[in-house]
Chain A
Amino acid sequence: MPPQPFRLPQGGRIDRSRSLAFTFNGRRYDGHPGDTLASALLANGVALVARSFKYHRPRGVMSAGAEEACAFVQLGEGARSDPNCRATQIELFDGLTAASLNCWPNVQLDFGVVSDRLHRLLPAGFYYKTFMWPRRGWLTYEKLIRRAAGLGRAPSEPDPDRYEKRFAHADLLIAGGGPAGLAAALAAGRTGARVILADENGEFGGQLLWRDAEIDGEPALRWVERSLAELSSLPEVRLLPRSTVAGYYDHNFLTVLERVTDHLSPFAAPTATPRQRLWKVRARQVVLATGAIERPLVFINNDLPGIMLAGAAQAYIRRHAVRPGGRAVIFTNNDSAYETVAALSEAGVAITAVIDARAGDTAAAEACLRRGIEVLRGHAVIDASGGHALREVTVAPLDGSATALAGAASTLRCDLLCVSGGWSPTVHLFSQSGGKLAFDAASGCFIPGESRQAERSAGAARGSFDLAACLAEGHAAGLAAARAAGFAGPDSPPPQAPAQAMSPIRPLWEVPSPHQGRRDRKFVDLQNDVTAADIALAAREGYRSVEHTKRYTTAGMGVDQGKTGNLNTLAILAGETQGAIPAVGTTTFRPPYTPVTIGALAGRGVGDFYDPVRKTPMSPWHEARGAVFEPVGKWRRPLYYPGPGEGMEAAVRRECLAVRNAVGLCDASTLGKIDIKGRDAVTLLDRVYTNSWGSLAIGRCRYGLMLKDDGMVFDDGVTTRLGERHYLMTTTSGHAEAVFGWLEEWLQCEWLGLDVYLTSVTTHWATAMLAGPRAREVLAAAGTDIDTSRAGSPYMTVREGHVAGIPARLFRVSFTGELSFEINVPARYGLALWETLMAAGAAFGIEPIGTEALHVLRAEKGYIVVGHDTDGTVTPYDLGMGWIVDQKKPDFIGKRGLRRSDLVRTGRRQLVGLLTDDPAQIIPEGSQIVRSGASLAATPVPMLGHVTSSYWSPALQRSIAMALIEGGQDRQGEAVEAVLPDRTLRAVIGTSRFYDPEGVRLHG
Chain B
Amino acid sequence: MLLIPCPWCGPREEGEFAPGGEGHIRRPEPQAASDQDWAEYLYYRTNPKGLHFERWVHAAGCRRWFNVARDTVTHEIRAVYKMSENRPEGL
Question: Is B91 interfacial (CB 8 A cutoff)?
Answer: no
B83–A752 touching, CB < 8 Å:
yes
Closest to A280 in B: B1
B57–A250 touching, CB < 8 Å:
no
B59–A748 touching, CB < 8 Å:
no
Known: A250-B75, A251-B75. A749 touches B65 (CB 8 A): yes
Number of residues on chain B facing chain A (CB within 8 A):
26
B74–A452 touching, CB < 8 Å:
yes
Closest to A758 in B: B63
Question: Is A895 interfacial (CB 8 A cutoff)?
Answer: yes
A897–B42 touching, CB < 8 Å:
yes
Closest to B63 in A: A744
Known: A741-B57, A744-B63, A748-B64. A900 touches B2 (CB 8 A): no
The smallest C-beta distance from A354 to any residue of chain B, in angstroms, reads 48
A282–B3 touching, CB < 8 Å:
yes
Chain A contacts for B31, CB-based, 8 A: 890-891, 896
Closest to A895 in B: B30
B83–A749 touching, CB < 8 Å:
yes
Chain B contacts for A891, CB-based, 8 A: 30-31
Chain A contacts for B39, CB-based, 8 A: 900
A896–B38 touching, CB < 8 Å:
yes
B38–A434 touching, CB < 8 Å:
no
B42–A249 touching, CB < 8 Å:
no
Chain B contacts for A899, CB-based, 8 A: 35
Chain A contacts for B57, CB-based, 8 A: 741, 744-745, 748
Question: Is B20 interfacial (CB 8 A cutoff)?
Answer: yes
A897–B1 touching, CB < 8 Å:
no
B42–A253 touching, CB < 8 Å:
no
Closest to A255 in B: B1
Interface centre among A253, A748, A752, by most chain B C-beta atoms within 10 angstroms, is A748
The smallest C-beta distance from A402 to any residue of chain B, in angstroms, reads 40
B35–A900 touching, CB < 8 Å:
yes
Known: A251-B2, A282-B3, A434-B74. A748 touches B65 (CB 8 A): yes
Question: Is A646 interfacial (CB 8 A cutoff)?
Answer: no
B59–A741 touching, CB < 8 Å:
yes
Question: Is B86 interfacial (CB 8 A cutoff)?
Answer: no
Alpha-carbon gap, A752 to B65, bound state (A) = 11
In residues 51-76 of chain B, which contact A (Cβ within 8 Å)? Answer: 55, 57, 59, 63-65, 74-75
The smallest C-beta distance from A434 to any residue of chain B, in angstroms, reads 7
Alpha-carbon gap, A951 to B54, bound state (A) = 46
Q: Is the interface of A mostly helix, strand, loop or mixed?
A: mixed
Chain A contacts for B74, CB-based, 8 A: 434, 452
The smallest C-beta distance from A745 to any residue of chain B, in angstroms, reads 6
In residues 236-257 of chain A, which contact B (Cβ within 8 Å)? Answer: 249-253
Question: Is B27 interfacial (CB 8 A cutoff)?
Answer: yes
The smallest C-beta distance from B35 to any residue of chain A, in angstroms, reads 6
Alpha-carbon gap, A249 to B59, bound state (A) = 22
In residues 14-60 of chain B, which contact A (Cβ within 8 Å)? Answer: 18, 20, 27-28, 30-31, 33, 35, 38-39, 41-42, 55, 57, 59
Known: A452-B74, A745-B65, A749-B65. A253 touches B1 (CB 8 A): yes
The smallest C-beta distance from B87 to any residue of chain A, in angstroms, reads 14
Closest to A252 in B: B3
Chain B contacts for A744, CB-based, 8 A: 57, 63, 65
Alpha-carbon gap, A249 to B2, bound state (A) = 8
A745–B35 touching, CB < 8 Å:
no
Alpha-carbon gap, A250 to B41, bound state (A) = 31
Chain B contacts for A253, CB-based, 8 A: 1, 3
The answer, among B2, B35, B38, B64, for a CB contact under 8 Å with A250, is: B2
Alpha-carbon gap, A745 to B1, bound state (A) = 24
A709–B83 touching, CB < 8 Å:
no
Alpha-carbon gap, A890 to B30, bound state (A) = 9
Question: Is A901 interfacial (CB 8 A cutoff)?
Answer: yes
Chain B contacts for A452, CB-based, 8 A: 74
Question: Is A869 interfacial (CB 8 A cutoff)?
Answer: no
Known: A709-B42, A895-B30, A896-B38. A748 touches B2 (CB 8 A): no
Closest to B39 in A: A900
Question: Is A218 interfacial (CB 8 A cutoff)?
Answer: no
A-B contact pairs, 14 of them (CB 8 A): A709-B27, A709-B41, A741-B18, A741-B59, A744-B63, A748-B65, A748-B83, A750-B27, A752-B84, A890-B31, A896-B28, A896-B31, A896-B38, A897-B42
Known: A253-B3, A891-B31, A899-B35. 20 other contacts (CB 8 A): A249-B1, A250-B1, A250-B2, A251-B2, A251-B3, A452-B74, A709-B41, A710-B42, A741-B57, A744-B63, A745-B20, A748-B65, A749-B20, A890-B31, A891-B30, A895-B30, A896-B30, A896-B31, A897-B42, A900-B35
**What is the interface of chain B, defined by CB distance below 8 A to chain A?**
1-3, 13, 18, 20, 27-28, 30-31, 33, 35, 38-39, 41-42, 55, 57, 59, 63-65, 74-75, 83-84
The 10 lowest CB-CB distance pairs between A and B, nearest first, are A896-B30, A253-B1, A251-B3, A748-B65, A250-B75, A249-B1, A891-B30, A749-B65, A251-B2, A749-B83
**What is the interface of chain A, defined by CB distance below 8 A to chain B?**
249-253, 280, 282, 434, 452, 709-710, 741, 744-745, 748-750, 752, 890-891, 895-897, 899-901
